[in-house]
Amino acid sequence: MFKNIKSRVLIFPLVFLFFFCFLLLQLPAKNIRGTPNHEINSNLSNIGKNIIEKDSNKAASIKIVKSIFKPEVSDFTAPQSWTFLILETEWENIHPKQKVSKDKLEGKTDRTMGVNTFAGGKKKKKTEYVDVDVAYMIEEFFNHAYLIADGLAYPLNKLTAEIPGGADLQNPFTIAKKGEVRKANFVYLIPKNAQNLGFQFFDYEYGHILLSIQGDLAKARGSGGPPPKVLGTIKSDSVEIAAHSFDFQNNYAGEEAPQGWHFAVVKLSGKSFLGKEIKDIVQIEPKEYTWIFTEGGYLYYCVSGSTTDEGFIRFTPEIYQYQELAFLVPLLAKVYRLGIRLRNDVFYLDLTKMKPEPRPKAIVSHHDGNTMKVMVFGMRQEGSRVILNLGIQSLVNSGLEIQMDAQFILNAGGEKLYVDGDVTSALAYRPPDPFIIPPGMFVRFELAYDTDTSPSSLYFRGYESEATLKLSNTKSRNPD
C-alpha cells in the first residue's frame, strides 16, 4: 500500500507594492543596464508618434515621450491580429528631501559613556539638520507598468530587455536624487484593433499614475469589470475570471500541433481581489490548475499560453488582465468546458452550449476506501496491444496524483504487464499530463499494454486498498 495524495496550493500571493524610499547617504545611483541611458539608439526616436504625456504622484513624475507601433521587434514577429507597441518614457525623482541630523550623517554621536552632574546638569548641544535626497526605487517594472487597451491590462513583454534603452526586468530601477531624470523604454504586445490606449503605473505607497497614449483614456482603463460580451465568469474570494472566446489553431506560439491534434486556445481575463491597502497579484500555474473537458469525460491540461518565464498566468488588481491558455486536444474531440482549480476549489466555464453526457455504465469497478473509485469501461485489441478504457472518480477534496506504472498492472498469459508509456502517450484519450485528478472530479482515460494475449485481470494498487479486477468477460468497447 502507499498513499501520495498531493494537496497543492494554486494561488501564490505576490505582494504588489515593491516601492520604497531610503535616505541617500552618499549612495550612487544605479543604472538599469550596462549601457548608459543617454546612449539610447536614435532609431527608436525617429519614428512613431510624439505624444508628450506627463503626470506624477508624490514621489515620481513620468513622461511618455513617444509611442511606436511595430509588427516586429528583435526578429520576433507579432502574431496575427496583434502588434508590438514601444513606449519611450522619462522618469524624474520629485520626492522632497528629508531632514537628517548632521551628527547621524557624520557618525559623531558618542555612545561609549554618559556623564551627568548633580549640580545643574550638562548643557545640551544644539542639533544641526541637513537636507538629504530620498531615492525612488521600483523593484520590478513587470509588477507595476501595464498597457491598458479598451478596458483590459497587458503586461510588459520580455522583449523589453532586448531593445535599445529597454528597461531591465530583472533588476531594480532607481532614481537616486531629487531632480534626476532617467529614461526607460517598454515593449507591449496588444491587439492590432485596439482603439483606446493608456499607460497604467501602480504605486500603492505614493499614488498610481495613469497616462493617455491614444483615444479616450476613460475607455482605455474601462470600468474595472469584464468585457460586455463573454462566455461566462467565475468568482472566488481571491479572483474573478471571464472567458471571452475560444478557437482552434494548428500552430500556437511557434509550435505545430502533431498530426491528428490541434490547439484549443481560450481567451480570458481576470482581476485579483487579494490584499487590502496594498493589493496583490494572483498567479496561477495553468499546466497543473487549468484544463479542458471534452465529450465523454476526457481531460487535457494546459500546454501553453501567455505565461511568464516561470510558467504563471497573472491577474492584476483593479483592472481585468488579458490572458490566453492553449490546450492540445484531438481533432475529433468535442470541447465543451474549461476547468480552473483555485486552491482546492474547482470552477467551470462553459465554452459551448453542449451539455455533458451521462457517465457510461462501468463493466467492473472498485472503491479505494474514501479516496477514489476506479472503473473499467471497456477493452479492445489493436494489433499487438491491449487498450483499456478506464475512469477514476476522486472522492477527496485535494488533487489526487496517479502513478499509472505502479497502480495499473495487467495480468495476461500468466505475466505481469506494465503500461507501455510511449504508446499510451500517443493515444487520443491518453491520461492527463500531469496525471492529477482535480478535487472531486471524474476523469476517463486509456492505457496501452504491449501484448497480443487476452488479459484475464487488472491488478489495481490503491492508496487505501488493492484489488484484482476480472477482465475475462469484458467485451471490446471503443471510447465514446
Q: Encode the chain in three state secondary structure.
A: CCCCCCCCCCCCCEECCCCEEEECCCCCCCCCCCCCHHHCCHHHCCCCEEEEEEEECCCEEEEEEEEEEECEECCEECCCCEEEEEEEEEEEECCCCEEEEHHHHHCCCCCCCCCCCCCCCCCCCCCCEEEECEEEEECCHHHCEEEEECCEEECECHHHHHCCCECCCCCCEEECCCCCEEEEEEEEEEECCCCCEEEEECCCCCCCEEEEEECCHHHHHCCCCCCCCCCEEEECCCEEEEEEEEEEECEECCEECCCCEEEEEEEEEEEECCECCCEEEEEECHHHHEEEEECCCEEEEEEEECCCCCCCEEECECCCEEEEEEEEEECCCCEEEEEEEECCEEEEEECCCCCCCCCCCCCEEEEECCCEEEEEEEEEEECCEEEEEEEEEECCCCCEECCHHHHEEEEECCEEECCCHHHHHHCCCCCCCCCEECCCCEEEEEEEEECCCCCCEEEEECCCCEEEEECCCCCECCCC
State the pLDDT at residue 8.
Answer: 25
State the pLDDT at residue 3.
Answer: 24
pLDDT digits over 408-467, tens only?
A: 999 999 999 999 999 999 999 999 999 999 999 999 999 999 999 999 999 999 999 999
Q: What is the mean pLDDT of residues 389-401?
A: 96
State the pLDDT at residue 473.
Answer: 65
Domain boundaries, the chain: 15-97+134-221, 232-350, 364-470
In one-letter notation, the amino acid at residue 223 is: S
Q: What is the mean pLDDT of residues 153-163?
A: 96
Whether the CB-CB separation of 273 and 237 falls below 8 Å is answered with yes
Provide CB contacts within 8 A for 298, sequence distance 6+.
Answer: 333, 429, 443, 444, 445, 479
State the pLDDT at residue 168.
Answer: 93
Can you tell me the distance from the alpha carbon of 188 to that of 146, in angstroms, rounded to the nearest whole number?
8
pLDDT digits over 308-326, tens only?
A: 888 899 999 999 999 999 9
From 190, 199, 189, 186, select the one nearest 160 (Cα to Cα): 186
Q: How confident is the model at residue 131 (pLDDT cuts 50, 70, 90)?
A: confident
Q: How confident is the model at residue 402 (pLDDT cuts 50, 70, 90)?
A: very high
Q: How confident is the model at residue 475 (pLDDT cuts 50, 70, 90)?
A: low
Q: How confident is the model at residue 45 (pLDDT cuts 50, 70, 90)?
A: very low
pLDDT digits over 254-275, tens only?
A: 899 999 999 999 999 999 999 8
pTM: 0.83
Lowest-confidence range among 126-135, 279-288, 469-478? 469-478
State the pLDDT at residue 44.
Answer: 46
Written out in words, the top-level CATH class of the domain with range 364-470 is mainly beta
The two domains 232-350 and 364-470 share their CATH topology (first three levels equal): yes
Q: What is the mean pLDDT of the chain?
A: 85
Which position has the higher pLDDT, 192 or 104? 192
Residue 367: CA count within 13 A, CB half-sphere: 3
Is the pLDDT at 133 greater than 60? The verdict is yes
Is the pLDDT at 17 greater than 50? The verdict is no
Whether the CB-CB separation of 369 and 465 falls below 8 Å is answered with yes
Written out in words, the top-level CATH class of the domain with range 232-350 is mainly beta
Which position has the higher pLDDT, 31 or 310? 310
State the pLDDT at residue 15.
Answer: 34
Q: What is the mean pLDDT of residues 178-202?
A: 97
CATH code, residues 15-97+134-221: 2.60.40.1240
